[in-house]
Amino acid sequence: LRSSSHFFKTSTIVSDSRKHTLLVLTDWFTPGYKAGGPIQSCYNFAINMNKYYSLRVITTNKDYRCSMPYPDLPTDVWRTGNDGLEVLYTDSERLNIFKMFNYIRALKPRYLYLNSMFSLYFTITPLFLYMFKFIDTQIILAPRGMLKRSALQFKPFKKKCYLLAFRWTGLSRKIKFHATDQQEKEDIQNIFGPNCWVKVISSFPTSVLFNKLPKLKSEPVRFIFLGRIHPIKNLHIAISSFHNCSKSVELTIIGSIEDKAYWNYCQTIASSLPENITFNFVGELPHPKVVATLPEFDFLILPTQGENFGHAIFECLAAGLPVLISDQTPWKDLEEKRVGWVLPLINESAFSTAINEAVSMDRDEYVLRSNAAQKYAKDFIENSELEEAYLELFG
């Protein structure tokens, strides 16, 4: 990554009377990357909506699970990035309800977009201020997949108490919810009732550069697992699925270790892989480096328990990688488009079968599928009409 001093330049806010102010609150934002998809979803949203609103972002000055602030990036100062976004990075250790209230009151936003479900200062605090009429704004809440059953199984007691209180106060009927697919809409309405206001709009995909030359399959075949090392991503299923593969394969893991005990379990499985399977662990990488690395691989494997959007899936398709994914993502039509496999988690052997199909694919078939993957990603971008849908969300 470029240093933050290079990426940002100091500025003052210049109000634009022609545009309503849209304030985005999120725990983590660029140049952070360790929280994965929610950062990318929020950044893509901000970039695209900045054309239509006087958009501001308030976030913390540290990346996910990091104790040190971003280098060369002063806190509590509005700064304009080279991408045109106005961002204020605040010290998370000194943040409190009064400070957040002052931030919001100073901007007087017409719209407040909350990029989380359970954040103390970036969701719960503004909702509290809104409920007691300390702020007057229209609130749009994006749960970002945090209401999926697979996500609610972690720290369930605290989450259940909070969600019950949320519904009991009637807040769920006074704000708007942004769901990124039909399943998330159902998750929201299952918890808050069928009368809450929910609009389904997909996340903005990352702007990517498509390969101009046909992609060829490697020898040995190279698979990538791209995601956090956490039980919800099911890395252990991905590793185990290669035990019955007789071809030479390299499996590379890119992602941050969030659960050390789970990572140790995955390493134990990896140690029993046959000799024809090479296992590589890269660790976490900044998002631009991840995107630049993708063309080196042939297939993505991601048996995830759930994805709100799945930026890793989209970016691999855009790079020409057919994907092997679970049936717990919004990407349901990949098999009919011949760009991947959508596999049930209840049948773990399905991943082994798909791996053997992938590695046995001849060169011509792989080129066809790789080109189809890029076309699928291009069509998604060209036909999505996402900007219009988001403008309706704030209408």
- 294-305 pLDDT, tens digit per residue, is 999 999 999 999
pLDDT for residue 185: 94
Tell me the average pLDDT of the chain.
90
Give the whole-number percent of the chain exceeding pLDDT 70. Answer: 93
pLDDT for residue 77: 92
**CA gyration radius, the chain:** 22
pLDDT for residue 150: 80
Cβ contact 294:377 at 8 Å: no
- Separation of alpha carbons 342 and 354, rounded Å: 9
Structure confidence at residue 156 as a pLDDT band (50, 70, 90): confident
Which amino acid does the sequence have at 46? Answer: A
Label residues 196-226 b or e (16+ Cβ within 10 Å = b).
bebebbbbbbbebeeeeeebebbebbbbbbb
Maximum average pLDDT range among 213-217, 293-297, 382-386: 293-297
CA 333 from chain center: how many Å? Answer: 20
Give Cβ neighbours of residue 127 (< 8 Å, ≥ 6 apart): 114, 139, 141, 166, 171, 175
Range with the poorest average pLDDT among 57-61, 88-92, 315-319, 379-383? 379-383
Choose between 9 and 264: higher pLDDT: 264
Nearest to 77 by CA among 103, 113, 47: 103
Give the pLDDT mean for 270-292.
Answer: 94
Structure confidence at residue 382 as a pLDDT band (50, 70, 90): confident
Give the whole-number percent of the chain exceeding pLDDT 90. Answer: 73
pLDDT for residue 165: 86
Choose between 47 and 348: higher pLDDT: 47
179-190, pLDDT tens digit by residue? 998 999 999 999
Nearest to 24 by CA among 4, 50, 5: 50
pLDDT for residue 216: 67
pLDDT for residue 228: 93
pLDDT for residue 5: 35
pLDDT for residue 210: 60
Choose between 395 and 356: higher pLDDT: 356
pLDDT for residue 96: 95
- Pairing outcome for strands 54-60 and 21-25: parallel
pTM: 0.82
Question: Which token pair is 209?
Answer: 């550069």
Structure confidence at residue 8 as a pLDDT band (50, 70, 90): very low
pLDDT for residue 14: 41
pLDDT for residue 17: 39
Give the pLDDT mean for 42-62.
Answer: 95
Nearest to 314 by CA among 296, 348, 351, 340: 340
For the beta sheet containing 138-141, the strands, ordered from the edge strand earlier in sequence to the opposite edge, are 8-10, 78-81, 86-90, 54-60, 21-25, 111-114, 138-141, 176-179, 197-200
Confidence check: pLDDT of 9 > 50: no
220-260, pLDDT tens digit by residue? 999 999 999 999 999 999 999 999 999 999 999 999 999 99
